[in-house]
């Protein structure tokens, strides 16, 4: 393509006045990279400074690790912006003023990015990448599909709301990995935020993904997606712990809050009783909250609008071990034939802890404690052993019965 430059103007002298008419500009790709040619004339005041286009090309080349000669401007259009160039950063306050500038389309390698720019004399940081327009369509579709899958069954439509180009410090997108070795290769990519038009309490308020440039690797940032747990939820959890334990709230403290996604049993998922062969699994986002007092380490799971106490993850292991010793004494079977099955936190109404032996000697007071279930093997079916205890001691055997799994999972 040959460079064309045509200057067109019409000058008329009417009554001693000179009228100049200039044409709006439109750029086309020049023969050599980095150069622009004009198909029509532009006034000097409306022409983008060469320093601005050069700085934009240098920025893209640096971000994508390309040679400057492989980055070229392909289109420039006049535009007006606010003080944030219509691309506000998080929590940035923008002034509603009309700054004259340009949108600049730039190609580097396989990528086409859109920049917003104004003259450097107007703003110190005079250009920004429009991430929403620069994000490749296939990367956009990948994260939307993944977020939709995690929100199954989807309630609303999920869309990309903001995109920020990033340079990750390693090929793991700066995520800490335990079972994967990350190299220190700098990885250009994207920070992508999505939102649902009909959010619900089981979903995060937003979906934040980290991605490489082409979407070959992307991962949900659970911490950024879930956000901080509301202070009221923390206060309600501590109040619940005080009520359950009858231990003063001043002696309870928060040890750890962790943003988590759960959908099945696991260390970072709420304990679930056996419900049959096919449990109903949902992807739920929230927080795992660990609180402690003397001799107690309790676990809660919280959503945006509530929380639940997890007794099996909170009961002291010493009580479970004591129950296993008693089951061995009752059955004569070895300790490894018993498994911890379930626990519930309960408040007994007397000092006998609900065990009928020596009932007349029981003092009628409320005693916080636990029910503990162990599973052992009988001749024809599993045997469920039940024990009662106080919060931190006094385990008592309360009987055993054959156990049969529920025949139907989550009946409706």
pLDDT at 283: 85
pLDDT at residue 281, rounded to an integer: 61
Encoding tokens for residue 39?
A: 């198909």
Residue 119 class from Cβ within 10 Å (0-12 exposed, 13-18 middle, 19+ buried)? middle
Span 67-109, pLDDT tens digits:
999 999 999 999 999 999 999 998 899 999 999 999 999 999 9
The pLDDT of 338-367, averaged and rounded, is 89
- CA atoms of 171 and 355, how far apart (whole Å): 59
> How many CB atoms sit inside 10 A of residue 386's CB?
19
**What mean pLDDT value characterizes the chain?**
85
Could you count the other beta carbons within 10 Å of the beta carbon of residue 189? 24
Residue 204 clears pLDDT 60, i.e. is over it: yes
């Amino acid at each position: 393509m040959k460079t064309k430059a045509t200057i067109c103007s019409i000058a008329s002298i009417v009554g001693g006045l000179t009228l100049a008419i200039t044409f709006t500009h439109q750029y086309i790709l020049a023969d050599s990279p980095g150069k622009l040619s004009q198909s029509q004339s532009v006034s000097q005041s409306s022409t983008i400074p060469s320093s601005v286009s050069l700085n934009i090309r240098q920025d893209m080349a640096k971000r994508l690790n390309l040679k400057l000669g492989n980055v070229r401007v392909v289109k420039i259009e006049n535009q007006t912006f606010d003080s944030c160039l219509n691309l506000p950063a998080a929590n940035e306050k923008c002034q509603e003023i009309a700054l004259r500038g340009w949108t600049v389309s730039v190609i580097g390698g396989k990528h086409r990015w859109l920049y917003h720019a104004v003259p450097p004399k107007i703003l110190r940081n005079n250009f920004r990448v429009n991430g929403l327009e620069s994000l490749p369509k296939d990367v956009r579709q990948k994260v939307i599909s993944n977020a939709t899958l995690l929100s199954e069954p989807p309630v609303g439509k999920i869309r990309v709301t903001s995109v920020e180009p990033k340079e990750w410090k390693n090929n793991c997108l700066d995520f800490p990995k335990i079972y994967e070795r990350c190299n220190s290769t700098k990885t250009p990519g994207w920070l992508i935020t999505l939102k649902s038009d009909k959010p619900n309490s089981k979903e995060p308020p937003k979906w934040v993904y980290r991605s490489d440039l082409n979407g070959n690797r992307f991962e949900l940032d659970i911490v950024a997606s879930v956000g901080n747990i509301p202070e009221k939820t923390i206060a309600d959890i501590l109040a619940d712990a005080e009520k359950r334990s009858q231990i003063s709230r001043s002696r309870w403290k928060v040890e750890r809050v962790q943003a988590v996604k759960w959908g099945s049993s696991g260390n970072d998922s709420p304990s679930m009783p056996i419900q049959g062969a096919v449990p109903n699994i949902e992807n739920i986002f929230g927080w795992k909250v660990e609180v402690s007092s003397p001799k107690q380490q309790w676990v809660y799971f919280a959503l945006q609008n509530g929380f639940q106490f997890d007794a099996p993850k909170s009961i002291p292991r010493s009580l479970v071990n004591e129950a296993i010793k008693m089951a061995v004494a009752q059955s004569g079977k070895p300790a490894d034939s018993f498994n911890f099955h379930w626990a519930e936190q309960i408040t007994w109404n007397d000092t006998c802890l609900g065990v009928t032996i020596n009932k007349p000697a029981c003092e009628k007071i409320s005693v916080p404690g636990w029910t503990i279930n162990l599973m052992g093997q009988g001749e024809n079916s599993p045997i469920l052993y039940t024990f009662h205890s106080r919060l931190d001691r006094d385990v008592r055997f309360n009987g055993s019965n054959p156990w049969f799994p529920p025949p139907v999972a989550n009946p409706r």
